[in-house]
Chains A and B, each alone.
Chain A
Amino acid sequence: MRHHSFTRGQKIAIAAVLLVGGFGARRTLVGSDHQDSPNVELNPAMDMTDVYAFPGSAPGRIVLVLNSHPFLTPAATSGASFDHNLLYQFKIDNTGDALEDKVIQVTFTGTGASQKVEVRGPVAPPVIGAMQNTVSTATPAVTGSINTVLGSATGIQVFAGPRDDPFFIDLEQFFRVIPDRKPETGELSQLPDVATASSFRPAAQAKNYVAGYNLMSIVIELPASMLTDGGNSKIGIWGTISR
């Protein structure tokens, strides 16, 4: 697994990048980030962990998933909700220039289990760029309560709510394998970079650190044609959470 970290300023977290070719033909997962900067560690609701895209429940449909708020314990899950001050966005590049041509914007109102979700798009982005958080004036395509499957099975279908974190890693062993961080100057910089392990533990001994934790998931299934506009079937997808 390659671990990438993108942090732009203090207001935005950009999750993993996915390249989806031909919807099922080729998929490349580039990375995952949990708690990748002090700001998101202090504001877990804006901590994006992963963006996934994969073929949907019927030919020609695609599923997009944006996960945030990692390490929710079982006890904390029942009261968890999305941050209504944040804009959650899927961004889609269908021209190969690494700039979003379409966005799906997800916003929330209220708090707790009665929170409502609004999904706008796919639409042309009101503003292009990672730091922008302008909400489109388009009428929401789907609205309704979180923890409910909303929309239609042939159009845009949405679920927003807590889910088991699908990521897996033997994190404790990972820290033993990678050379530890140390200062670049001073006495401690002389410490050797000796790892205390050279590989992950065997399956029977390995511990999936993420097991048992939940997170907040936004899952959207829709016709892939709504993202490609009938053009290039090779698209880039990424997500942002911004305030």
Chain B
Amino acid sequence: MSLRGVVGFCILLAVVVGASVQQGRQRESDHRQVLAHRGEERRIRDADIDFFARRVKEDPTGAIDLAKLGGLYLRRARETGNNEDILRAERAARRSIENRRRSNSSGYRLLANSLMGQHRFAEAREAAFTLTATDDADLTGRALLGEIDLELGRYHEADSLFNRLRVVRNQLTIAPRYARWAELRGRAGEARRLLADTRRAILSREDLPSEQVAWFDLRLGEFALRMGASNEATMYLAHGLQVAPDDWRLLGALARLAATRGDARETIEYGERAIAQALDPATLGVVGDAYRTLGDTGKAEEYVRAMETAVATQLGPYHRAWSLYLLDHNRRIPDVLANVKAELQERRDVYGYDLLAWALYKSARFPEAQTVMHQALAVGTEDPLLQRHARAIEAAAAGPGA
């Protein structure tokens, strides 16, 4: 190479290295800024909690401040995974409603949401029903009632509610619920489009907490993950992580995504970052499996025990992700079967039937599993997990010679 060529190459190399270092510094600086912003949001949230707690003390007969205080508790519960805050929100909602039974939509909304957070869906439905009955103009209340109906498997009631909300489906508080309905009723494409449109609208706003912005990335990422679109899931979840780098739900979803790719080390990396924020049972299970894949059965069992402990501290009747984990690992199948049957008395949704069918399949009760799986599929939900379970059950019911 001539001297001129060497000089040229060195200059080019310096430019490339310089640009790369500059980009790295920029990324680091952006990351620091995002973390500082998240810290400021948390500071404001906690200061606001103190502010409203003081106001409640000053006028304990009021309803509005109690509802606002409870709303902040719920937000903190979402951000930290702290169940105590969900219970605080419920208490605030009940006090707010006690102080004013009517013209108190925010009190009833808060009560319904805090009960949903505890998976007490039947009670949540009562609160949401009262809300819609006393304030028929509250469209968010109707969407909330529809969402609870979906959780309870009351699909015809949900159909009726959401069909009437079609013209306002793009509203921020309605879109995610409407999309969930569309997804469960077999219109996954419509659900995805609506969520993506809403996310675009959200990204153009600067007044929303980063937790809410990242939540849409989480929903779309999880949606893509369920549908097996891992590139799309990566895109949304990675964007969400830029907005909220310490969001335990996004980190947990990224761990699950890595697990579907079979990347045990990345699963552990994301999963442990998520667990450092909140002890989510599903994430503990995924990380445990990743350790097992790497041959570390001791560590894997440690995570299973941690998962069990975490499940015991969860609010609500029983944990579905835990049940699915147990079934997939052929553990405590009779217990899970009994729990699922008990829950179906109240909550007859597609995933309840799917879990029952899977528990029956794991109990080698194939014809019963087949019947229950048909009930699950009748809802119309296009979820590869359901399809996978259905195929396994059909094959088992047909017998070895089929």
Contact = CB atoms under 8 A, between A and B. Distances in A.
B48 A73 contact: yes
B134 A183 contact: yes
B401 to A, nearest CB: 59
Interface stretch (A89-97, A137-145, A170-178, A222-230): A170-178
B59 A207 contact: yes
B51 A74 contact: yes
B47 A73 contact: yes
B48 A175 contact: no
A181 B137 CA distance: 10
A38 B47 contact: no
Contact of A76 (B44, B63, B99, B102): B44
Contact of A42 (B55, B99, B134, B173): B173
Contacts, number: 67
Interface string A99-122: 000000000000100000000000
B206 A75 contact: no
B64 interface: yes
Contacts of A45: 207
Contacts of A191: 102
Contacts of B171: 38, 42
Contacts of A172: 59, 61-64, 99-100
Interface string B191-230: 0000000000000111100000000000000000000000
Interface string B135-161: 110011000000000000000000000
A48 B325 CA distance: 52
Given A111-B206, A183-B136, A186-B133, A75 B43 contact: yes
Contacts of B123: none
Contact of A38 (B58, B59, B140, B205): B140
B102 A181 contact: yes
Contacts of A76: 44, 48
A168 B29 CA distance: 44
A42 B174 CA distance: 12
A182 B64 contact: no
Interface string A177-191: 010111110111001
Contacts of B269: none
A66 B258 CA distance: 52
A83 interface: yes
Interface in B162-188: 171-173
B40 interface: yes
Contacts of B43: 75
Interface residues of A, number: 30
A44 B55 CA distance: 21
A79 interface: yes
Contacts of A171: 64
User: What class of interface size applies to chain B in its complex with A?
Assistant: 20 to 34
A contact face: mostly helix, strand, loop, or mixed: loop
Nearest to A85: B204
Q: Which of B40, B43, B103, B135 has the most CB of A within 10 A?
A: B103
A180 B103 contact: yes
Contacts of A187: 133
Contact of A181 (B48, B59, B135): B135
A199 B62 CA distance: 16
B51 A181 contact: no
A167 interface: no
Interface string A208-223: 0100100000000000
Contacts of B173: 42
A42 B59 contact: no
Given A75-B43, A209-B64, A38 B139 contact: yes
Contact of A73 (B51, B99, B102, B172): B51
A76 B52 CA distance: 13
A191 B103 CA distance: 13
A182 B134 contact: yes
B353 to A, nearest CB: 32
A150 B173 CA distance: 39
B139 to A, nearest CB: 7
A75 B51 contact: yes
Nearest to B62: A172
A44 B139 CA distance: 18
Contacts of A183: 133-134, 136
A76 B58 CA distance: 21
A182 B172 contact: no
A26 to B, nearest CB: 35
Interface string A149-180: 00000000000000000000001100110101
A207 B102 contact: no
Contacts of A85: 204
B134 A181 contact: yes
B63 A175 contact: yes
From A75, A111, A181, A207, residue with most partner B Cβ within 10 Å = A75
Interface in B46-68: 47-48, 51, 55, 58-59, 61-64
Interface string A30-57: 0000000010001111000000000000
A151 to B, nearest CB: 27
Contacts of B48: 73, 75-76
A171 B140 CA distance: 23
Nearest to A193: B102
28 contacts: A38-B171, A42-B172, A42-B173, A43-B205, A73-B48, A74-B47, A74-B51, A75-B43, A75-B47, A75-B51, A76-B44, A83-B207, A111-B206, A172-B63, A172-B100, A175-B63, A176-B100, A178-B103, A180-B103, A180-B134, A182-B134, A183-B136, A184-B136, A187-B133, A207-B59, A207-B62, A209-B62, A212-B55
Given A44-B207, A172-B63, A175-B63, 17 more contacts: A45-B207, A73-B51, A75-B51, A79-B44, A83-B206, A83-B207, A85-B204, A172-B59, A172-B99, A175-B103, A178-B103, A182-B134, A183-B134, A187-B133, A188-B134, A207-B58, A207-B59
